[in-house]
Amino acid sequence: MTAEMIAATDRYAEAEEIARRLLTAPPNDPYPLYDRLREIDPIHRTSFDGLWTLTTYDHIHKALRDSRFIRVPDDLLRRQFGDPIDESRPFIKSRRRWYNQGNPPEYTRRRTLYGKAFTRFSMNGLRPVIAEAANRLLDRALEGGGELEVVHQFGYELTVALICHVLGLPAPKPGGSSEFIGWFRAYSATFDPLCTEEMLARADQAVLELNDFMRDHIEGVRRQPGANLISRLIAAEHDGERLSDEVVAANVVLVFNAGVSTTTNLIANSVFDLLINADQWRLLVVNPEARAENAVEEILRYDTSVMTNPPNRVAARDVQLGSVTIPAGEVVTPFFGAGNHDPARYKNPHRLDITRPDIRPLSFGGGPHVCLGQHLARVETEVALAVFARRFPQMQLVDRAPKRRAGITNRGFEALPVRLT
């Protein structure tokens, strides 16, 4: 064996170990591993599960938009939950009804029903509602002594109230989102490739309880429709879409979860990253309204709350990606966090810079399956950061090394206490 062959073998072995770690036990700071994998094998096929891991901005950007990469729901379910798929499980039944399963053109027709509720224009119209809710939460924290836990006392409370508003559900009472939080933490855990049988059992129970909750409120919206997503779905049923209560409930739960968990993590990541980088926090404080939008884009790039997608892009036929051919039937997994830190796309990628120009984060995916709630997540986080910066320019972290939540897909904190000085 030549020295070149030995070096190639060593590089593959190193890449395999890095990919295994990223897909089974990601560290709190995965970015050095992303950098090394991108350097030695940017399109790496793992031997342990046959996934093609993508780590460059260009490869991920192209793969997300290439119509030859399709979603195959059964493939993802088998990879996560075993073969054969247990169709009797409540979570599996609910997942089968999600609008975002499948591919264009049928998927595009279904998505249109939901997308009208989440346009950039309609989400921008919510800015006063978001600001009022955020200020109310901060006022309550001041009354309680001036310390705020950003994940539960602010992030979840804000995002639950806003998604209820969009859907047409009654907002929970102050401090009353805990039941929702329990449901959606159980629900969102199933998006992680490391979902265990115990986690799936909790998701089954959460789906049963959520479906009971949703059915009651769907019936109420039937009696008194309004300008909200549930009313739109019910009207579509009357127009021939034939959406049953079970289908409406399953998709309302999906939209609810997507609008709560990832946005809560994004808000908390944003607060932490800005406070730990004091020069960037000061830049925001100088002009919150003008700089909040670009600050959110930079944090989506720098510390996204969605690090990867579950392995759900299958090559419908052989696809040439860079110098590599992905064979038909094989699966690609984009590491968004790696692409967002690609030095070929961004100068000094490991530096937070809220004045950075031309930011195009990969964090919401791309192509026909781009995240439906991206505009709501952006607007909520922009408004929240502007309110924090305007009211509490001397805000401080209580813990400079808070505990990260375990998982591959979602990046966030278990808790993030701050002092509203």
The pLDDT tens digits along the chain (421 residues) read 565 555 567 899 999 999 999 988 888 899 999 999 999 999 999 998 889 999 999 999 999 999 999 988 777 777 777 778 888 889 888 888 888 888 888 888 888 878 877 888 889 999 999 999 999 999 999 998 999 999 999 999 999 999 888 888 887 777 767 777 788 778 777 777 667 888 888 989 988 888 888 888 888 888 888 888 888 888 875 455 567 888 888 888 888 877 888 899 999 999 999 999 999 999 999 999 999 999 999 999 999 999 987 767 899 999 999 999 999 999 999 999 999 999 999 999 999 999 999 999 999 999 888 888 899 999 999 999 999 999 999 999 999 999 998 788 889 999 999 999 7
Of 310, 328, 309, 254, the residue nearest 79 (C-alpha): 310
Q: Where exactly are the structural domains of the chain?
A: 3-419
Residues β-bridged to residue 69? 315
The pLDDT of residue 374 is 92
Of 208, 158, 138, the residue nearest 387 (C-alpha): 138
The pLDDT of residue 231 is 87
Does 1.10.150.120 match the CATH number of domain 3-419?
no
Q: Say how far residue 26 (Cα) sits from the centre of its chain.
A: 17
Query: Phi first, then psi: what are they for 371, rounded to 5°?
Result: -55, 125
The pLDDT of residue 112 is 84
Of 299, 230, 265, 263, the residue nearest 159 (C-alpha): 263
Q: Name the DSSP letter for residue 29.
A: -
Could you give the CA distance from residue 214 to residue 278 in angstroms, rounded to a whole number?
A: 43
- Whether 48 and 17 have beta carbons less than 8 Å apart is answered as no
The pLDDT of residue 26 is 85
The pLDDT of residue 303 is 96
- Whether 259 and 162 have beta carbons less than 8 Å apart is answered as yes
Grouping H, G, I as helix, E, B as strand and the rest as coil, residue 65 is helix
The encoded tokens of residue 312 equal 């759900």
Q: What is the largest CA-CA distance in the chain?
A: 76
Helix intervals (H) in 148-244: 157-167, 178-188, 197-223, 229-236
Residue 143, burial from CB neighbour count under 10 angstroms (0-12, 13-18, 19+): exposed
Residues β-bridged to residue 326? 319
The pLDDT of residue 2 is 63
Amino acid at residue number 350? H
Residues β-bridged to residue 308? 335
Task: Give Cα separations from 393 to 46, 48, 324, 421 (angstroms).
Answer: 47, 49, 50, 8
Could you write out the DSSP letters of every residue in 179-192? HHHHHHHHHHGGGS
Of 213, 184, 240, 246, the residue nearest 412 (C-alpha): 184
The pLDDT of residue 7 is 55
The pLDDT of residue 35 is 97
